[in-house]
Chains A and B, each alone.
Chain A
Amino acid sequence: MTLSRRGLLTGALGLSAAALAACGKDDDSSSSSTEGADAKTLTLWHYEGPTSAMGIAWAKAIEIFKTKHPGVEVKFEEKSFEQIQQNAQMILNSDSAPDILEYNKGNATAGLLSKQGLLTDLSDEATKRGWDKKLSSSLQTTAKYDEDGIMGSGKFFGVPNYGEYVMVYYNKTMFDKYKIAVPTTLAEFTAAMDTFVQNKVVPLAVGGAEYPAQQIFYELALSKADRAFVDDYQLYKNKVDFNGPVISYGATTFAEWVSKGYIAKNSAGIKAEDMGVSWEQGKFPILISGSWWYGRFAKEVKNFEWGTFLFPGNTLHPGSSGNLWVVPEKSKAKALAYDFIDITMSAEVQNLLGNNGGVPVAADASAITDAKNKELIENFNKLVTGDGLAFYPDWPAPGYYDVMVAATQGLINGSKTPQAFQDEIAKPYNENLADLGK
């Protein structure tokens, strides 16, 4: 019942998006930096757990805000991701809109809302307060949206506090057992996996039923790609050749990894959560996934030593800024909201985020005390300075996530050839391009 309801919901939301767009357009508001400075309350929503890196850092930010604005009451509410994901349009179009909230980055979320005029343009504040200096260009990609709601250029509609990227988590104890060194090239990496296969250990924990498998495919494709490819694929700068060297290398190598036994055939039905738990249990030596696991692994893995390294040989990696602070157009305390964002970008809050296993966007790596967290952040800084964030494979088109999941599942259980995979993911991508008129 619930399942079918949700399915229908997507359709219903899609249909009414147009209707909402018409109501939401309201561009005459004069957004100056003092608007709402005299407000007595700041209603603030986010959906991070209280013990997560972001939850801890933002609790501190609220504290700092209170000392700086003694007369202002902060009304903080922890929301569910789903409630924000599904209802943001309706909430931000009503009088129940908060003054500032965490919202999901991307064309279908922040982009769509900015296009409908529901979000405040933060460009002036970003230059005045120096947020644009603190955020590198690939982090700004997800903060800026043009008039069609497409990310990458245009105005600032959100400010990210943290980043995320895909890396390789490995079980040191198992690596030591088979005397495998940390690989630095793709060849060494495959050789390491060969050793595990020879010893009857499946090397990779993969969740084929959700996002992890497509990120491995994308990681492989990126090993043959440059920034121009990413711009073409994600920002529609030029047409992407789905039979070209980049994507076909990703698809064939992924299929090869399956046939060589690096990826178990039954992982097509595994969810991300189960993938993580199986790795935590020491059933697989390697897990290729995002930094969002980091804090949890640090807290929960007790039975073995582990470490991380960037996917060997790649300069580009899946990753992006985290979710955004956005200020609704209906916010009654815009100036206070800008002050709050400014506090979250301060060194104190950013370093706190980093010390709790998060990936801050503007931290001072030398201020991070924990050695492991430092490694995580240094790797991220390396990526960002090298312009190495390539976003995620499912971003370019609406509904592309499910296409990607189904296509990689086909590769894992062998029901699809790499060629069939390429054709399958090309079609919706090109249809979306046509819809956008590109």
Chain B
Amino acid sequence: MTLTATRASTSRTPERVSLRERHPARFFILALLLVLLLLIVAPLLVVAINAVKSPADYAANGPLALPHHLYWQGIVDFWNRANFGLKLWNSFITSIVVAVLGVILSVFNAYALGIGRVKGRLWFLVFFLIANLLPQEVLVYPLYYLSKQVGLYDSLWSVIIIFTVIQSAFGTYLLTSVYTEFPKELLEAAAIDGAGKWRSLWRVVVPVSRPTLAVLFTFFFIWTWNEFFLPLIFLISNDNQTVPVALGVLQGDRMMDATTTSASALIGIIPAMIFFLIFQRTLTRGIAAGAIK
């Protein structure tokens, strides 16, 4: 976002640039933004500080003091205790499969609803919207009994299937509104060239809407990665757990271990942050592209 913004401003006429730079309000706004940034980053910083602090140090100086020396044992201990490598792998597999399947399913649905203009598509959309707004708690018991019936309780597949459906409900809703605006000329041109429905979907619609699909993919991945509630219910064995569920191991009945919890929180969010950084550009591009040129 910032990148595009600065690029845009440098391409403006020179006098406007100097006028903007001199304006005192700019410094004020900059200071305000810095304060805001600090407020947003502060919790993360506190987590990072406490992650590398020894428990005795935490007890003596409290959560806000800087650590006396770097103490990595908390992170190492947690990693081994939770078998964290396996949890990362579980989370990664679940999220990536959900993201891929979710996008594919959304494209199919949206193609039918947005471009195919199926009868009663408004009602389909309302249905998807409601499915989206439904709190997960309502779904728990039906899903629990269903998954027990088909033998998927305590299996990663139950979570993958559930989240593919949940995410693609949102994806369908969003993509359909994008596809209703899809330029008719392109589709007509494709039809004249002899492309069938299947061909025009893969050769015209998908390539043109790729930025939007990339955004959906990234969101699906991160959302699924961060899901806690349903994985907590469906992934019973420690071997099947995902990262957010594994983090819960540290929370006791009345006791919490603040330093190890911080350590675990830190290594728990790092993968999602790395993923976000990698795909940050597709995100901004996708949003900037709005829909389709």
Taking Cβ atoms with an 8 Å cutoff, the residues of A that contact B are 2, 5, 8-9, 11-12, 16, 19, 47-50, 52, 77-83, 86-87, 90-91, 94-96, 104, 211, 272-273, 277-278, 280-281, 290, 292-293, 296, 299-303, 323
Contact = CB atoms under 8 A, between A and B. Distances in A.
B150 to A, nearest CB: 13
Contacts of A299: 55-56
Nearest to B153: A94
Interface stretch (B20-28, B138-146, B275-283): B138-146
B248 interface: yes
A87 B63 CA distance: 32
Given A83-B232, A94-B153, A96-B236, A16 B249 contact: no
B254 interface: yes
A50 B63 CA distance: 23
10 tightest A-B CB contacts, nearest first: A80-B248, A300-B59, A280-B59, A12-B137, A8-B137, A96-B154, A77-B238, A80-B249, A96-B236, A16-B141
21 contacts: A2-B229, A9-B140, A12-B141, A47-B249, A48-B252, A49-B252, A78-B249, A80-B249, A81-B248, A83-B248, A94-B236, A95-B153, A96-B236, A277-B58, A277-B62, A278-B62, A281-B59, A281-B61, A292-B253, A300-B60, A323-B253
B137 A5 contact: yes
B254 A290 contact: yes
Interface stretch (B121-129, B185-193, B255-263): B255-263
Interface residues of B, number: 38
**What's the dominant secondary structure at chain A's contact region?**
helix
B60 A302 contact: yes
A80 B254 contact: no
A280 B56 CA distance: 9
A294 B11 CA distance: 66
Given A49-B257, A301-B59, 8 more contacts: A2-B228, A5-B136, A8-B135, A9-B140, A77-B237, A95-B153, A278-B62, A299-B56
B232 A87 contact: yes
A19 to B, nearest CB: 7
Contacts of B199: none
Contacts of B255: 49, 52, 292-293, 296
Interface of B: 55-56, 58-63, 81, 135-138, 140-141, 144, 148, 153-154, 228-229, 232-233, 236-238, 245, 248-258
Given A5-B137, A77-B238, A96-B237, A277 B63 contact: yes
A81 B252 contact: yes
Contacts of B135: 5, 8
Contacts of B148: 94-95
A80 B245 contact: yes
A144 to B, nearest CB: 21
A78 B81 CA distance: 9
Nearest to B238: A77
B80 to A, nearest CB: 10
A273 B262 CA distance: 14
A18 to B, nearest CB: 11
A16 B142 CA distance: 10
A290 B255 CA distance: 11
A305 to B, nearest CB: 14
B250 to A, nearest CB: 8
Given A5-B229, A9-B229, A77-B238, A281 B62 contact: yes
Nearest to A91: B236
A80 B251 contact: yes
Contacts of A280: 59-60
Contacts of A5: 135-137, 229
Which of B59, B238, B250, B251 has the most chain A CB within a 10 Å cutoff? B59
A157 to B, nearest CB: 19
B59 A19 contact: no
Nearest to B140: A12
Contacts of A79: 238, 249
B56 A302 contact: yes
A85 to B, nearest CB: 9
Contact of A104 (B59, B62, B229, B253): B253
A277 B232 contact: no
